[in-house]
Each structure stands twice: as structure tokens, then as C-alpha cells.
């Protein structure tokens, strides 16, 4: 929702978010005297993972800018489905046949949304791309946390993301590289960067020591629920969608919330 309040376009918004987040995290690392020593191989791996982080944020905020918060969150709600397919591939977990079945329900929900909100296709697709990239680095961070401190993982992923977004800005063809900020945008960006990025992202990596990546990703599905509700309350008419949208979104949310129970009953009982 902060993304909609900020007047910058997606690329500029993500660039500033990463700058503020990286600086604040680096200050935290120095304050805690956390060693930045890491092998070249692991550094390259984490920096590359940062590319997924940068693309994830760009896709998500671009989805908001070309549609609205509700549409972007509807697409993002598919993150559980993509995580369920990626976890066996990236972490060597057992594949579950129910993933395909639940995938069908998710696409039914998406089809209903598109039927009633045809003009929302672009925003929905960028929301889905945000879900794919978010699932990818969210799952793989489960491997990285076994070897590295969460602050180190986060800092170098932010660095990789910042390099990517900076390169995209260079090829954007604008007359400026560093976008100007209004006071309102600066305040919202500081909140977004420090509270919602540095703190939240680092903690989400840290808890991977106690929980599986898939379990952590499932909690992300709370975001579409409160996000859609708050977006209507904050932004009013621009966020009110057709009845068909809420039917489709309801199918999506019902699917992703019942999925863990279904998987526990049929996969682990087998």
C-alpha cells in the first residue's frame, strides 16, 4: 500500500528503497560487529539471488502502478503454488501430487478475475511474476541460512538487487539517474525501506532457522487478505472491484489457506 502512496514509478521507487535499506542494514552490521567475510563463490551466489529480489520488487510495484493494490495482491497470492513446486526442485523435497490439483483451483480463480476484470491482465501478470520470483529466493534462502548470518544474506541480496535495478535505470533512457524526492515520498520511503524492508526481510530470513521456507511463504498469504481490505479503506473507489473479482480472489485465498491442511492430511499421511 505504501507503494501506491509513493508517487515514483516502480523502477525509481525500488531503487530508492534498496539504497535506504542497504545503508541502514550496513549500519546495523557495523553496530553489531558482524563479520562480512564470505567466500567468492558464496558471494556470487547471494548476489545472483539478489537479482531475483530486485525483480520481485519491481514486478510487484509495477503491478500496482499499472493496475491497483487489489489486482497486484491477487496475482501475488499465487506464491504458495509456485513455492510448492520449487521446494522439491531447489531443496530436494518430495513432490506432492496435490500441488497440481491446487494449481488448477488457483488458475480457476485467476480466470474468473480476468473474465470480470479484463483490463487488469497486465497488473495480474506482473503480480504473478512477483510471486514466482518471491517464491524462488524465499525457498533458496532456506539453504543459505544454513551457512550464513541472516544480516549478511540480506545485505548482499540487497546489493545484488541494487546493481540490477541501477543497470535497468541506465538503459531506461531518462535524463536523470537519481530521481528527486518530495518530502512525502521521502517519509514513506524511509518507512518502507527500514521497517518494511531491512527489519522485515532480515527477520524473515532469520526465522528460516526454525521453520521451513514453505511455511514462511505461506504466512505471506495473509498479505492479500489485509492488503485488499486496507486498500479499499485507504484509497476508496479506485480499489473497489467487481463482484467477479472478489469471487475469484476468494477462490485464490481459500485455496492457499486450505492447502497446508490438505498437504498435511494427504502427503504426510501417505
Q: How far apart are CA 197 and CA 191, in angstroms?
A: 9
Q: What pTM, to 2 d.p., does this model score?
A: 0.81
Averaged pLDDT of the chain: 79
Three-class DSSP labels, 114-170: HHHCHHHHHHHHHHHHHHHHHHHHHHHHHHHCCCCCHHHHHHHHHHHHHHHHHHHHH
CA 265, distance to chain mean position in Å, is 28
Output the pLDDT for position 181.
86
Higher-confidence residue of 164 and 65: namely 164
pLDDT tens-digit series, residues 74-114:
788 788 778 877 877 777 767 666 767 777 777 777 777 77
Q: How far apart are CA 267 and CA 261, in angstroms?
A: 10
Mean pLDDT of 212-237: 60
Higher-confidence residue of 47 and 87: namely 47
At which residue does the C-alpha cell 499465487 appear? 78
Q: How confident is the model at residue 164 (pLDDT cuts 50, 70, 90)?
A: very high
C-alpha cell at 199: 527489519
Output the pLDDT for position 48.
93
Q: Which domain holds residue 52?
A: 2-266
Higher-confidence residue of 52 and 233: namely 52
Q: How many domains are contained in the chain?
A: 1
pLDDT tens-digit series, residues 17-46:
999 999 998 888 888 888 888 889 999 999
Amino acid at each position: 500500500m505504501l507503494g501506491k502512496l509513493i508517487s515514483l514509478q516502480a523502477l525509481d521507487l525500488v531503487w530508492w528503497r534498496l539504497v535506504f535499506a542497504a545503508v541502514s542494514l550496513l549500519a546495523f552490521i557495523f553496530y553489531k560487529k558482524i563479520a562480512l567475510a564470505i567466500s567468492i563463490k558464496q558471494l556470487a551466489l547471494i548476489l545472483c539471488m539478489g537479482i531475483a529480489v530486485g525483480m520481485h520488487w519491481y514486478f510487484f510495484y509495477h503491478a500496482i502502478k499499472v493496475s491497483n493494490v487489489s489486482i497486484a495482491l491477487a496475482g501475488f497470492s499465487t506464491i504458495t503454488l509456485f513455492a510448492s513446486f520449487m521446494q522439491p526442485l531447489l531443496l530436494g523435497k518430495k513432490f506432492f501430487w496435490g500441488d497440481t490439483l491446487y494449481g488448477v483451483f488457483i488458475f480457476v480463480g485467476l480466470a474468473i478475475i480476468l473474465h470480470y476484470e479484463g483490463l487488469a491482465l497486465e497488473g495480474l501478470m506482473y503480480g504473478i511474476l512477483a510471486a514466482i520470483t518471491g517464491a524462488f529466493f524465499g525457498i533458496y534462502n532456506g539453504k543459505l541460512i544454513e551457512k550464513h548470518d541472516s544480516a549478511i544474506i540480506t545485505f548482499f541480496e540487497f546489493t545484488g538487487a541494487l546493481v540490477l535495478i541501477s543497470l535497468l535505470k541506465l538503459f531506461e533512457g531518462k535524463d536523470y539517474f537519481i530521481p528527486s524526492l518530495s518530502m512525502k515520498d521521502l517519509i514513506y520511503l524511509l518507512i518502507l525501506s527500514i521497517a518494511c524492508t531491512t527489519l522485515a526481510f532480515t527477520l524473515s530470513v532469520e526465522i528460516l532457522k526454525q521453520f521451513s521456507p514453505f511455511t514462511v511463504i505461506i504466512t505471506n498469504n495473509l498479505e492479500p487478505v489485509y492488503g485488499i481490505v486496507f486498500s479499499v479503506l485507504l484509497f476508496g473507489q479506485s480499489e473497489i472491484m467487481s463482484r467477479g473479482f472478489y469471487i475469484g480472489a476468494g477462490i485464490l485465498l481459500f485455496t492457499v489457506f486450505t492447502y497446508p491442511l490438505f498437504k498435511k492430511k494427504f502427503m504426510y499421511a501417505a
